[in-house]
Structure 1
Amino acid sequence: MKVSIVTVVFNCFRFIGPCIESVVSQDYLDIEYIMVDGGSVDGTISVIKKYMDNIDHFISDQDLGMYDALNKGIGMATGDLVGILNADDRLASVDVISSVVDCFRNMGCEAVYGNLKFIKRGKDCSITRNWKSKPYTPNDFLYGWMPPHPTLYIERSVLYTAGRYSLKFGTCADYDMILRLLYKNRVNAVFLDKLMVIMRKGGMSNGSVKKIVSAIINDYRVLVHNEIPNPLIALMLKKVRKLNQFFN
């Protein structure tokens, strides 16, 4: 079972090395690694070139943002399964991918997701949030639940059926994709109770007040687009659920 991992990067010189290392150190060998660079000018490409023997597909070109680049990367994927790893994140342990594959083989599912931890972005890598997920039912989406997108691995054929990431939802294109897959299309996704990804705080939709407000607006648009009843309630509960991550 081949696993395609897509990393999108733009000017991430400090963190792209550990990201790549976390992939190439996996104990599962049948991995197709795809790197899509948005035209970095900070030395990122020089780091990537050190790992070219471990990268199956690499392009560096201007794009319309992260999700446009993800669409390009997914379009190059040939694996049975597809997952995303952000450039400033890393897989949490060497057996993440082998555990994902075992879950697919044993459970007969179409998607797998797990747990995620946020750490500080600087030299102090202490944990700031612990996103402990759980098994779900489709009704959970009506009350603001969602799995951690960076932990989601999905059958490539199922992902293609759902379509591309929509650029009209900005940084919430991942939320739209998750609702499309798990809520509207009822994809059979299984929870793997394992820490899968270490994520650095300060991504596209977390950080500044401006980013947070923009994410709230786009979250609401995504909920309406995917025909979630009472979208305001779902939106408020989604934010409340996030508070639990600071106390787990």
Structure 2
Amino acid sequence: MKVSIITVVYNGAEHIRDCIESVLSQTYPDIEYIIIDGKSTDGTVAIVQAYGTKIARFVSEPDKGLYDAMNKGISMATGEVIGLLNADDFYRHDRVITNMVSLIEQTGSDAVYGDMLYVDRDDTQKLKRYWRSGWYSDNAFKWGWMPGHLSFFAKRTLYETCGLFRLDMKSAADYELLLRFIHKHKAKLSYMNEVTIVMRAGGISNSSLKNRLRANREDKLAWELNGLQPYFFTLWLKPLRKIRQYISKPPVKNAHS
């Protein structure tokens, strides 16, 4: 089973090596690694090119943003399963892809997901947040649940039948896609029950009331675009569920070897 891993990057020279090395060090033998660059000007292109044929596909050109770049990569992918890994992030250990493929083969799932760690951008040993996705149950989205997007591996056929990221969404494009795949189209899902992704803290923040209200509107739009009706409390329960991510502690690293 070929697995396509897609990294999108723009001016990510500071951390792109860590990301690439975490993919290339995976024990799984059949990985197609695709990197989509938004025409970086900081040396990112030279770093990627130095890996030569270890990178199956590399494109450096202007794009319409993060999700447009992800869609480009997904459209290029030839693997049976597709995973996304941003340039600031890396896999927690070298058997993430092996474990993921094993679970898909055992369960016949359309997609699998795991847990994520958010760490300090400069000191990756300093934990900021632990996102334990937990087990999925029907209507979990109505109770504010969602898996960590970058921990989500899906069969290519799921993208082909259910569509790519919507470019008319902004920060909630990942939420809308997961809502569509899992809640609307009932993709068969399995939980890896381990930390798979380590993310450097940063990106779009919903910490201010203004940003939270904007995110709430986008989440509401995600339901409307799919002809779905959340509970009256769904969109407020979703951010509240994140509170425990700042309190919970992750298990020790375990590659399930």
Query: Is TM more than 0.5 here?
Result: yes
Which residue does 1:233 correspond to in 2? 233
For each residue in 1:33-68, what CA deviation from the matched residue of structure 2 results, as whole angstroms up to 9, or x when unmatched?
000000100111111112122100000000000000
Describe the shift of the 1:157–1:221 C-alpha distance in structure 2 as closer, same or farther (beyond 3 A). Answer: same
More divergent stretch after superposition (182-191 vs 218-227): 218-227
Could you tell me which runs of 5 or more consecutive residues in structure 2 were left unpaired when the two chains were aligned: 249-257
Aligned length in residues: 247
Describe the shift of the 1:222–1:148 C-alpha distance in structure 2 as closer, same or farther (beyond 3 A). Answer: same
Pairs within 5 Å for 1:167-186: 167-186=167-186
Which residue does 2:157 correspond to in 1? 157
Following the alignment from structure 1 to structure 2, what is the Cα–Cα distance between the partners of residues 20 and 180?
Answer: 30
Pairs within 5 Å for 1:175-214: 175-203=175-203, 205-206=204-205, 209=208, 212-214=212-214
Which residue does 2:75 correspond to in 1? 75
Are the counterparts in 1 of residues 216 and 236 from structure 2 also a CA contact under 8 Å? no
| Pair 1:31 & 2:31 matched | yes
Q: Return the structure number with greater helix share.
A: 1
Aligned residue for 1:178, secondary structure, equals: helix
How far 1:115 moved relative to its partner? Answer: 0.6
Following the alignment from structure 2 to structure 1, what is the Cα–Cα distance between the partners of residues 134 and 217?
Answer: 26
Are the counterparts in 1 of residues 9 and 35 from structure 2 also a CA contact under 8 Å? yes
More divergent stretch after superposition (81-90 vs 224-233): 224-233
Pairs within 5 Å for 1:48-127: 48-123=48-123, 125-127=125-127
Fraction of identical pairs, as percent: 39
- In structure 2, what residue type is equivalent to 1:226? N
Are the counterparts in 1 of residues 206 and 215 from structure 2 also a CA contact under 8 Å? no
Pairs within 5 Å for 1:13-32: 13-32=13-32
Aligned residue for 2:68, secondary structure, equals: helix
Could you tell me which runs of 5 or more consecutive residues in structure 1 were left unpaired when the two chains were aligned: none
More divergent stretch after superposition (65-74 vs 133-142): 133-142
- In structure 2, what residue type is equivalent to 1:102? S
Pairs within 5 Å for 1:139-158: 139-158=139-158
How far 1:219 moved relative to its partner? Answer: 1.8
Following the alignment from structure 2 to structure 1, what is the Cα–Cα distance between the partners of residues 87 and 124?
Answer: 18
TM-score where L is the length of structure 2: 0.92
Are the counterparts in 2 of residues 223 and 231 from structure 1 also a CA contact under 8 Å? no
- In structure 1, what residue type is equivalent to 2:55? I
How far 1:225 moved relative to its partner? Answer: 2.4
Describe the shift of the 1:36–1:211 C-alpha distance in structure 2 as closer, same or farther (beyond 3 A). Answer: farther
Aligned residue for 2:139, secondary structure, equals: helix
Are the counterparts in 1 of residues 111 and 153 from structure 2 also a CA contact under 8 Å? yes
Following the alignment from structure 1 to structure 2, what is the Cα–Cα distance between the partners of residues 167 and 63?
Answer: 11
Aligned residue for 1:229, secondary structure, equals: coil
Which residue does 2:133 correspond to in 1? 133
Describe the shift of the 1:159–1:230 C-alpha distance in structure 2 as closer, same or farther (beyond 3 A). Answer: closer
